[in-house]
Amino acid sequence: MLRLRRFPEDTPPYFGMFDVAAGRAVSTVGSGCQWVTPWTSLTHWSVLHGAAGAWPQPVAAGAGWRDLFWSPPAEGQHVWVRRFHRETASIKTAWVCAERA
């Protein structure tokens, strides 16, 4: 079990197992959604000492944009999403946890 950081680099660290043969990190958290992160999107890692962090993290008062991994929308919730930080357009959608889309 590792502590991981992904692109963009200012996203919160998260935890998961790294599969060297497949070149990806796999995380299963909270509601059972499985997150797969290819090695090309990972920027840093360290050994996870102790228990994995709380998921989802509490949302700060007045927070605008939220990280999908740490603060996922409710199933079917209508939201605005972006693929990358501030460089891409926002897309209005309904969140589907099983598809992470």
- Tell me what percent of the residues of the chain surpass a pLDDT of 70: 76
DSSP code, position 88? S
* Conformational region of residue 23, where left means phi above 0, alpha means psi within -120 to 50, and beta covers everything else: left
Would the pTM count as exceeding 0.95?
Answer: no
Residues of the domain holding 17: 2-48+56-99
More confident residue, 68 or 56: 68
Number of folded domains that form the chain: 1
User: How high does pLDDT run on average in the chain?
Assistant: 78
Looking at residue 41, what is its pLDDT? 83
Proportion of the chain above pLDDT 90, given as a percent: 4
